[in-house]
Amino acid sequence: MNTDATLLDSARAWLGQDPDEETRAELQGLIDAATAGDTGVLADLHDRFDERLAFGTAGLRGEIAAGPNRMNRVLVSQAAAGLAAYLVGAAEPGTTPSVVIGYDGRKNSAVFARDTAELMAGAGVRAVLLPRLLPTPVLAFAVRHLDVSAGVMVTASHNPPNDNGYKVYLGGANHGSQIVAPVDGAIAEQILRVAAEGHVPSLPRGAFETAAEDVVDAYVAATAAVASAAPAEGRAELSVVYTAMHGVGWETARRVLGAAGFAEPHVVAAQIEPDAAFPTVAFPNPEEPGAMDLALETAAALGAELIIANDPDADRLAVAIPAAAEPSGYRRLSGNELGALLGWRAAREAAEEAGDSGPTGTLACSIVSSPALQAVASRYGLDFANTLTGFKWVSRAPGLIFGFEEALGYLVNPGTVRDKDGISAAVALLDLASQLKVSGSSLAAHLEEFTATFGAYASSQVSVRVTDLSRIAEVMRAFRADPPVEIGGIRVRQIDDLGEGFGALPPSDVLRIWLEDGSRVMVRPSGTEPKLKVYIDASSTDGSVAEREAAAAATVAALETGMRTLVGA
């Protein structure tokens, strides 16, 4: 930890290289107050300067403010220069590395993207900036479409309004997937070198290219092709409500759905245009309570058959279906439920295409997602891969034909986008729902059919948001030092500590707890938010559909009660 004197020196040095008027004024005010003896401000400065946002496989993400432990133009410039140095060093002799850069509608996204493009170009990297604010999946697509060395997306996805972030993708043999170790460490080393040696105003800048609209056109065409070109049983029109959650999804999603032959959805007008303030939601995340309230109200007024929601950068998809028993008249499907249905769709399509030779390929999901997908893979003779959390891992499963994770992320077209994509997932879901309607069925009935075919799979999640990150480490240490022998009245059979790696899985701060009845509990720190997360899964294949669902739900409820006690939720 810096002494107060060195802290103020560090703050003044940072101030001297900050090109942003807003954060300069903010930091100058803090320096003045701390110099005058304000102890509260000193504590704030220590939080900003004693550490820096770590660059890892999730890139960078944090609150926009001054200092190395916040997101700002100094930190982003250092990251861009460090990434450029890595790309130049990794390039084949005689070749010029290249990068495509995208950005969403959050505060400072366009500024951070332009800084990145200029600094990349100044460092000898061919830099291509997407033509305007666009969804994250378009950037992931552009990495492969433009055949560049890397991609950068400036977004904080579904984080609180004043956050922003910096995601990095790799081209070539990585096929546009997000970075994983050891590349993240190598990039981080270069970033730290730039921070230690450089002075942001002295970093060279150069001219970048702006991508033509045909990049977006190509994404639209490739994503529209996810829908069945000519479904044998036809396609029924659905009454659909769509919300962009104040993000950038609507312009692109509208074009894709039209190209795929779907009627234009009704929209939640108050949330359809990009707005960095996110005025109608506390957290712009479809998983958060209240985030979809306006969509539910709009759907109820219209009598809509389906609600679809993208998060602000449109890489996630939330879905709600009519449910008379719910106060709103609708029930939001969990990520596990939608992942199971889309995985089943992918398996059926693979089987139909393969014919008598039998389907090949892999269904993949993260280790914290429902085991339901593994049951689908087994039934269809497909390979199954369980990966660490994050699409940087899911997307790398060999032979992938479909991947998902419970946090509303789905990869339905790995031939074009190697990341979760809320727009292509919406196309796949609408294609399925419209064909079900033609046959006199629905998504609700299809879920019951899934249970009758594969069993009931119930899931729950406990999230403990903290203000002190050390609290998460304390809980993880306590579990390892004194592991539970039973949870919710169900005896623990085995605990897998993934901290040292487990089987083919790389090391990760995750505990996987197996119960005697075959149910499972996962405990891990969140990779993007100050949360401890607990994932609970149980299944049943005994009795009728209703009996299976009741048994699985009862087990999950007991385990959730037990885990809330253990983690203090």
How many angstroms separate the CA atoms of 309 and 242, rounded?
6
How many angstroms separate the CA atoms of 560 and 556, rounded?
6
Tens digit of pLDDT for each residue in 87-111? 999 999 999 999 999 999 999 999 9
Q: What CATH number labels 55-212?
A: 3.40.120.10
Percent of the chain with pLDDT over 90: 87
**pLDDT mean over 226-248:** 86
The mean-pLDDT minimum among 201-210, 353-362, 375-384 falls in 353-362
**pLDDT of the residue at 528:** 67
Res. 219: pLDDT tops 90: yes
CATH 3.40.120.10 maps onto the chain at: 55-212, 214-454
**pLDDT of the residue at 184:** 94
Note if 334 is an active site residue: no
Q: Show the tokens assigned to 515.
A: 């119960």
* CATH class belonging to 214-454: alpha beta
**pLDDT of the residue at 468:** 80
Question: What is the pLDDT confidence band of residue 449, given thresholds at 50, 70 and 90?
Answer: very high
Picking from 287, 342, 276, the residue whose alpha carbon sits closest to that of residue 310 is 287
Res. 429: pLDDT tops 60: yes
Tens digit of pLDDT for each residue in 124-149? 999 999 999 999 999 999 999 999 99
**pLDDT mean over 281-285:** 91
Res. 381: pLDDT tops 80: yes
Alpha carbon separation from 172 to 123, 177, 315 (Å, rounded): 20, 10, 22
**pLDDT mean over 515-535:** 90
Question: What is the pLDDT confidence band of residue 233, given thresholds at 50, 70 and 90?
Answer: low
Residue 279: CB atoms within 10 A of its CB come to 10
CATH 3.30.310.50 maps onto the chain at: 455-567
How many angstroms separate the CA atoms of 560 and 357, rounded?
44
Q: Determine which one of 157, 395, 460, 519 is catalytic.
A: 157
Question: What is the pLDDT confidence band of residue 467, given thresholds at 50, 70 and 90?
Answer: confident
**pLDDT of the residue at 235:** 78
Under CATH, which architecture does the 455-567 domain have? 2-Layer Sandwich (3.30)
How many angstroms separate the CA atoms of 381 and 359, rounded?
7
Res. 566: pLDDT tops 60: yes
In the sheet with 520-525, reading across from the earlier edge strand, the strands are: 456-465, 531-540, 520-525, 511-515, 490-497, 486-487
Q: Over the chain, what is the mean pLDDT?
A: 95
Residues 6 or more apart whose CB falls under 8 angstroms from that of 358 comprise 351, 381
Q: Which of 232-236, 251-255, 459-463 has the highest mean pLDDT?
A: 251-255
Tens digit of pLDDT for each residue in 152-201? 999 999 889 999 999 999 999 999 999 999 999 999 999 999 999 989 99
Res. 230: pLDDT tops 70: no
